Structure 1
Amino acid sequence: MKKIRIVYELKKQIAKEMSVTTQTVEMALAYVYNSEVQQNIRQRAKELLQQEADKVQVDLKTNSNN
């Protein structure tokens, strides 16, 4: 089963940005429906996850995160 997993704070942020409930966001991330709104929610979740991933810095010499 495909599902996009993000922390609750990001779900709240997406809900606020898109003027929907967090339940709508959760259903979109679980691929319950495929409306345009649901697709936009998934796209925004992907963008936010990418931003979070870009913040991670890995020092390959010591193999530790900052």
Structure 2
Amino acid sequence: MENLSKERRSTALSLIFAEKISGLILLIVGVILAYNSNTKDLGALGAFFIMVGAVLAFLGILMIVAKSD
């Protein structure tokens, strides 16, 4: 019974680590997308891609700072 508890704890820690890494990747992709959309002349699509980049960055930050119980 105790081994099962340790296995679950190990699995939970692995999932938390994967969540934080995924959040970091989302944050980086969002910042790069927003920055590149801002520096290049994309016309009307520029605002759309800046917004998508900002949303991705926000979701990445949420995934990083989210508490897991």
Query: Quick check: TM above 0.5?
Result: no
Structure ranking higher on relative contact order (CA contacts 8 Å, 6+ apart):
2
TM-score, with length taken from structure 2: 0.40
TM-score, with length taken from structure 1: 0.41
